[in-house]
Amino acid sequence: MNIIRPIAMKDLDRLCQIAVDSGPGFTSLPSNRELLEQRISASEQAFSNAQPDPSGASYLFALEQVSSGQVIGVCGIEAAVGLREPFYHYRLGTVVHASRELGVHNSFQTLYLCNDYTGCSEVCSLYLAPDFRHSSNGALLSRCRFLFMAQFANRFPGKIIAEMRGVSDASGRSPFWDGLGQHFFSMEFSEADYLTGMGNKVFIAELMPKHSIYLHLLPDSARDVIAQVHQNTIPARKMLENEGFRFEKYIDIFDGGPTLACELEDIRAVRQSRFVKVHIGPAQAHSIPYLISNTELENFRCTLVNIGPSEGQITLPADLAHQLQVSQGDEVRVVELKG
What is the pLDDT averaged over residues 72-87? 93
What is the pLDDT averaged over residues 224-251? 95
Pairing between β-strand 121-128 and β-strand 104-114 as defined by DSSP bridges = unpaired
The mean pLDDT of the chain is: 92
**Do 24 and 73 have their domain in common?**
yes
In a domain, 48, yes or no: yes
pLDDT in tens, 251-298: 999 899 999 999 999 999 999 999 999 999 998 888 889 999 999 999
Q: Identify the bridge partners of residue 105 per DSSP, sorted by sequence position.
A: 98
pLDDT in tens, 136-181: 999 999 999 999 999 999 999 879 999 999 999 888 789 999 999 8
Give pLDDT, residue 279.
96
The CATH number linked to 295 is: 2.40.40.20
- Confidence label for 240 from pLDDT (cuts 50, 70 and 90): very high
In a domain, 107, yes or no: no
| Model confidence at 332: pLDDT above 60 | yes
In a domain, 96, yes or no: no
- Confidence label for 195 from pLDDT (cuts 50, 70 and 90): confident
Residue 187 and residue 173: Cα distance in Å, rounded? Answer: 12
Give pLDDT, residue 23.
72
**Do 57 and 177 have their domain in common?**
yes
Three-state DSSP class for 30? coil
The total number of structural domains that make up the chain = 2
Three-state DSSP class for 80? coil
Give pLDDT, residue 338.
83
In a domain, 132, yes or no: yes
Of 269, 289, 315, which closes a domain?
269
Give pLDDT, residue 29.
81
Give pLDDT, residue 186.
76
Give pLDDT, residue 325.
98
**Do 254 and 294 have their domain in common?**
no
Three-state DSSP class for 221? helix
Residue 313 and residue 330: Cα distance in Å, rounded? Answer: 10
**Do 255 and 308 have their domain in common?**
no
**Do 171 and 279 have their domain in common?**
no
**Do 8 and 127 have their domain in common?**
yes
- Structural domain of residue 68, as residue ranges? 2-90+113-269
Question: Could you count the other beta carbons within 10 Å of the beta carbon of residue 338?
Answer: 13
CA triplet 168, 145, 54: central angle to 5 degrees?
Answer: 100
Give pLDDT, residue 30.
82
What is the pLDDT averaged over residues 14-24? 87
Reply yes or no on whether 134 is catalytic: no
Q: Find, among 64, 66, 78, 79, the residue nearest to 11 by Cα.
A: 64
**Do 28 and 134 have their domain in common?**
yes
Annotated catalytic residue within 211, 230, 279, 322: 230
Give pLDDT, residue 170.
81
